[in-house]
Amino acid sequence: MTAYNERYIALNNGFKQGTDCRLEETGLTIRFFRFRSLLSDERSGTLQYADNNIAENFSFEYPVFIPSGKSKQKEAILLLHGLNERSWNKYLPWAEFLCFHTGKPVILFPIAFHINRAPVTWSNPRNLISLLNFRKEKYAGDRTISYANVALSDRISRSPERFYLSGRQTWADLTALFEEIKTGRHPLFKEDAKIDIFAYSIGAFLSQVALMANEKSLFSDSRLFMFCGGSIFRSMFGISRSILDKPAFEKLQQYYIHIFGNEATPVWERDNAFNAFLRMIAPERFRSDREKFFTHFKEKIGGITLANDHVIPHHGVLEALGTKNGESTVQLLDFPFPYTHENPFPHTTNDTASLNNAFTNVFSRAAEFLA
């Protein structure tokens, strides 16, 4: 395959949301499928506020990279993205590599209120000027506030509950998607198709909760490969001009570490999803139950963390999985070029040889695990 940086540019030039296409170099096709997320009164863990009026979040299309050949597939890889993503740009070469090298379809499923599940106004600088100026005035001198993070930061600052609620909605969506596939109702898959997961950043956290909750036993045979993800919540550091500003992140941490689940009057339905989420908040809470689960599941979990990743640190992954288990299942790597959690493979770097080697190394390991 072509070098990573060239492939990144080619894929992003050719990809258009909602338009099926064929990738000539690899022979793969990209097809889009419509999904309808249930409204809050049709499921537990209701979304509140004005969020029920965001139509894009409830009816949307998701792309699937499909290998040539078979009409009905018996296996799939679900790819889950990171927090505050507004496009599939960086994930297109990831999905193509996994699909090409495993021979399995790769489903790119958007988390609630992300990618094409969010109003375009949330990523349009012209629409965000007044909100940006408001936060800069309110938090004078805070250089973590940016056009890229202001929409999510404002939403989280006003209602930190949204982090759990949007995660819960996505979990319910994935449960519905898995059920659609496994019952043979999805046009692309055979009945009882096996679904594995490649998860990055907050997508890994969501996957850990989903596997632990295991709604309707739909996730029992799934394997999970985590990249730059898998940390216990308390050790995540989401302050970034691409993710959350400092005031929003501090509000988020304060709420989930000190308030969530400790309310004097019960607020949340304490089902399997709630309990799984609660186990992933702080390392000392429910440690025995959490580590027992991940130790039992260790043959089905693999991953890679990066030495210079300050958002999802390696030690946070060890805290989540248990040190012994984490050290045997998750590898710590480093690259010889400047990178960040948000941009682990900067396609504009001058060291294209090292970039290509790093990308191929990471995704060859992922493909081998998920093959």
Rounded to two decimals, what is the model's pTM? 0.96
pLDDT digits (tens, 9 = 90+) for 115-127: 999 999 999 999 9
Range with top average pLDDT, 46-50, 69-73, 319-323? 319-323
Q: What is the mean pLDDT of residues 296-324?
A: 97
**Residues of the chain with pLDDT > 70: what percent?**
96
pLDDT at 45: 45
**Residues of the chain with pLDDT > 90: what percent?**
92
Q: What is the mean pLDDT of residues 164-185?
A: 96
Q: Where in the chain are the domains?
A: 4-123+164-239+269-370
pLDDT digits (tens, 9 = 90+) for 178-212: 999 999 999 999 999 999 999 999 999 999 999 99
pLDDT digits (tens, 9 = 90+) for 236-284: 999 999 999 999 999 999 999 999 999 998 889 899 999 999 999 999 9
The C-alpha atoms of residue 45 and residue 231 are separated, in whole angstroms, by 24
Q: What CA–CA distances, in Å, run from 36 to 27, 55, 107, 128, 169? A: 29, 10, 16, 28, 12
Tell whether the model's pLDDT for residue 46 goes beyond 70: no
Domain 4-123+164-239+269-370 coded CATH 3.40.50.1820? yes
Band of residue 60 on the pLDDT scale cut at 50, 70, 90 = very high
Band of residue 41 on the pLDDT scale cut at 50, 70, 90 = very low
